RNA sequence: GUGGGCGUAGCUCAGCUGGUAGAGCAUCGGACUGUGGCUCCGAACGCCGUGGGUUCAAAUCCCAUCGCCCACCCCA
């Protein structure tokens, strides 16, 4: 259902007879309705159960954090940070930006005051900005004094303009409120919490999982939404033994198996460490330059910006060239090569089938060694249902102690999509008993019966208004109820209630006290 | 940000070359004032995404715009 005028109501919506405009979920967000929610619950419940058996505890995190947290962990220069995050200033203090030179002293005064009273963020950025702004401004004043004294020439003029420009730039750079971002991923927040709560003093490693919505301001497509859901698990601290990597992957596979996900494929790779990867990247870049003319424009651009991304290319024409590129696993340092071999051995020990995928590389700098991904069928172009890897440097990067780390994130939307596509529509538990009643005395009995049955765990539907039995039974049928409890004058008078089995139409009489026993046996 | 496809009832769609809306399903009511599924009858449901243009006349043709879907880019 579309409503084109939603964003531009023609007539004043609040007044008169004009039809109120229809609202619509924001682009990239959606409602998840019953019966789908039953599947969502099963997916989440199974995660709770399986992850608990591996010693993971649930962590619940804020939906938004300081922008810097994500910028630092994901990388300031990535597309994600520069244009795909939901970022906003949280309640900026009202200090009008200066319009002209005469306005600048007023602005400076107010900002200093606000900074002193913690009304605007007391960040390095703000302190530095104000400091430089003050200096620049005083230079500007000196200069204009000279200009007034008649010392006008071209050099002065240029310098004056430059300073003026700097001032206005600096003024705009002052943050009048904390910049916050709706979380685009969970890992950074988990690490922040690990540090903030001193979890490095707990027995290591600390195993945490978390689930909930994430936000990315991208154009939606199949299996990719602006508000999407992830199930995320992280192992922080402890050794970086290959067994840790393998056990995490084992847990993942057990989880998917319990959910009945079919046709899932595990890909693994090692992307080395700070020692061996940069060397490989250069090697790759060299190799790519040699075949540049055989590549498409996108891949040509990537040669300089991020050569590893060439592996992601889906262009048919490039596949032949890409297949001949050097593999990172042939250029690992001795330690990394040993580690990769050990991880594979540990996986084999656990009977986990995997496929080595030398094209599987993660985009972030802090990722190292083991990376893995799970591809599921029925998902269109976005076919990865889970991605993960080792990130030993991240906690330290965020101001914590040197800490090993590895984790994964499952795309819950895609997982559910794939479960739905692979058929197996799991049956939702419908209602057990529909109470068809007629007459005021029967109603009292019906209310009591509903309460008793619900207390015993049955799902009961009790109509709030009188209905003819034909209608009530029709309703019961449409709702898929298993039984109809019929309460009319006869039943109330005799104390013998009528229980009808909808499937075959059979009916039986029983007393109120015998009802529960009777239902349990059926 | 770029490209392609699509917007008609709650849902799935018909409505060809212009003559100002239809079906099926679903909903509600009745046939059926103590018995559902079947059948029959009836009702409600639409500014044909929105704005403009062409025309005596636009769901239909043209332009614009918005929205949805899919793909690209990117992918934590």
Q: Is the pLDDT of residue A15 over 80?
A: no
Whether residue A369 lies inside any domain: the answer is: yes
We report the CATH number of the domain holding residue A515 as 3.40.50.800
Q: A353 with A256, same domain?
A: yes
Q: A357 with A377, same domain?
A: yes
Q: What is the pLDDT of residue A425?
A: 56
Whether residue A412 lies inside any domain: the answer is: yes
pLDDT > 70 in chain A, percent? 95
The count of structural domains within chain A is 3
3-state helix, strand and coil shares in percent for chain A, rounded to the nearest 5? 45, 15, 35
Whether residue A307 lies inside any domain: the answer is: no
Q: Is the pLDDT of residue A79 over 80?
A: no
Q: A44 with A193, same domain?
A: yes
Q: A251 with A361, same domain?
A: yes
We report the CATH number of the domain holding residue A375 as 3.30.930.10
Domain boundary among A144, A176, A208: A176
Residues 213-232 of A with CB under 7 A from strand B: 216, 218-223
Residue nearest to nucleotide B76 (CA to C1'): A185
Residue A19: pLDDT band by 50, 70, 90 thresholds? Answer: low
Q: A203 with A270, same domain?
A: yes
Domain boundary among A387, A421, A455: A421
Q: What is the pLDDT of residue A363?
A: 66
Task: Evaluate if the CB of A79 falls below 7 Å from strand B.
Answer: yes
Q: What is the pLDDT of residue A49?
A: 98
Token pair for A134 = 């003050």
Whether residue A305 lies inside any domain: the answer is: no
How far apart (Å, rounded) are the C-alpha atoms in residues A297 and A303? 10
> In this structure, how many other beta carbons lie within 10 angstroms of the beta carbon of residue A219?
9
Q: A489 with A374, same domain?
A: no
User: What ipTM was predicted for this assembly?
Assistant: 0.89
Task: Evaluate if the CB of A85 falls below 7 Å from strand B.
Answer: yes
Indicate the pairing of strand A355-356 with strand A265-270: parallel
Task: Evaluate if the CB of A363 falls below 7 Å from strand B.
Answer: yes
Q: Which residues pair with A361 in a beta bridge?
A: none
Whether residue A22 lies inside any domain: the answer is: no
Q: A407 with A350, same domain?
A: yes
Q: A55 with A105, same domain?
A: no
Q: A161 with A186, same domain?
A: no
Task: Evaluate if the CB of A314 falls below 7 Å from strand B.
Answer: yes
Q: What is the pLDDT of residue A427?
A: 57
Whether residue A427 lies inside any domain: the answer is: no
Task: Evaluate if the CB of A83 falls below 7 Å from strand B.
Answer: no
Token pair for A1 = 């259902």
Which bases of chain B come closer than 7 Å to a protein CB?
Answer: 1-3, 7-11, 27-30, 32-37, 49-51, 65-76
Q: A132 with A262, same domain?
A: no
Task: Evaluate if the CB of A78 falls below 7 Å from strand B.
Answer: yes
Task: Evaluate if the CB of A455 falls below 7 Å from strand B.
Answer: no
Task: Evaluate if the CB of A113 falls below 7 Å from strand B.
Answer: no
**Please, which residues have CB within 8 angstroms of residue A249's CB and are 6 or more apart in sequence?**
A266, A268, A347, A352, A354, A372, A388
Quote the Cα angle for A242-A247-A251, to 5°.
Answer: 155
Residues 221-280 of A with CB under 7 A from strand B: 221-223
Q: What is the pLDDT of residue A378?
A: 84
Q: What is the pLDDT of residue A4?
A: 35
Q: What is the pLDDT of residue A428?
A: 67
Task: Evaluate if the CB of A4 falls below 7 Å from strand B.
Answer: yes
Whether residue A5 lies inside any domain: the answer is: no
Domain carrying residue A137: 92-176
Mean pLDDT of chain A: 88
Residue nearest to nucleotide B66 (CA to C1'): A4
């Amino acid at each position: 259902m579309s409503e084109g005028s939603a964003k531009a109501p023609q007539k004043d919506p609040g007044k008169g007879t004009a039809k109120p405009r229809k609202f619509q979920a924001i682009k990239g967000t959606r409602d998840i309705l019953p019966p789908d929610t039953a599947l969502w619950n099963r997916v989440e419940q199974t995660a709770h159960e399986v992850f608990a058996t591996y010693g993971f505890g649930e962590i619940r995190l804020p939906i938004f954090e300081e922008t810097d947290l994500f910028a630092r962990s994901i990388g300031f220069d990535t597309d994600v940070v520069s244009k795909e995050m939901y970022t906003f200033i949280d309640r900026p203090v009202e200090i009008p930006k200066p319009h002209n030179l005469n306005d600048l002293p007023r602005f400076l005064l107010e900002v200093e005051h606000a900074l002193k009273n913690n009304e605007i963020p007391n960040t390095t950025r703000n302190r530095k900005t104000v400091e430089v702004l003050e200096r620049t401004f005083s230079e500007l004043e000196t200069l204009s004094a000279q200009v007034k004294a008649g010392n006008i020439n071209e050099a002065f003029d240029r310098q004056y303009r430059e300073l003026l420009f700097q001032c206005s730039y600096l003024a705009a750079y002052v943050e009048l409120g904390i910049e916050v971002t709706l979380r685009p991923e969970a890992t950074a927040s988990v690490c922040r919490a690990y540090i903030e709560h001193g979890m490095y003093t707990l027995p290591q490693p600390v195993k945490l999982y978390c689930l909930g919505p994430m936000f990315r301001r991208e154009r939606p497509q199949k299996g990719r939404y602006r508000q999407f859901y992830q199930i995320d698990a992280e192992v922080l601290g402890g050794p970086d033994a290959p067994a840790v990597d393998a056990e995490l992957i084992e847990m993942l596979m057990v989880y998917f198996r319990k959910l009945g996900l079919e046709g899932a494929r595990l890909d693994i790779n090692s992307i080395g460490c700070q020692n061996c990867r940069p060397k490989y990247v250069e090697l790759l870049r060299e190799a790519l330059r040699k075949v540049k003319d055989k590549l498409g424009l996108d891949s040509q651009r990537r040669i300089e910006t991020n050569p590893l991304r060439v592996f992601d290319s889906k262009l048919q024409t490039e596949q032949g060239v890409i297949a001949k590129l050097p593999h990172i696993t042939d250029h690992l340092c001795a330690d990394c090569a040993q580690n990769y071999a050990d991880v594979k051995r540990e996986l084999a020990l656990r009977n986990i089938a995997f496929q080595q995928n030398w094209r599987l590389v993660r985009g972030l700098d802090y990722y190292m060694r083991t990376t893995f991904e799970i591809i599921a069928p029925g998902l269109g172009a976005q076919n990865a249902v889970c991605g993960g890897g080792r990130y030993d440097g991240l906690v330290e990067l965020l101001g914590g102690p040197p800490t090993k780390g590895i984790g994964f994130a499952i795309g819950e939307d895609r997982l559910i999509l794939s479960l739905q596509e692979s058929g197996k529509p799991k049956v939702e538990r419908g209602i057990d008993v529909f109470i068809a009643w007629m007459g005021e005395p029967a109603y009292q009995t019906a209310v009591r019966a509903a309460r008793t049955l619900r207390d015993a765990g049955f799902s009961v539907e009790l109509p709030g208004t009188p209905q003819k039995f034909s209608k009530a039974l029709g309703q019961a049928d449409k709702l898929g109820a298993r039984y109809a409890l019929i309460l009319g004058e006869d039943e109330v008078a005799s104390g013998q209630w009528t229980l009808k089995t909808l499937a075959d139409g059979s009916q039986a009489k029983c007393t109120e006290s015998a009802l529960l026993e009777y239902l349990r046996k059926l």
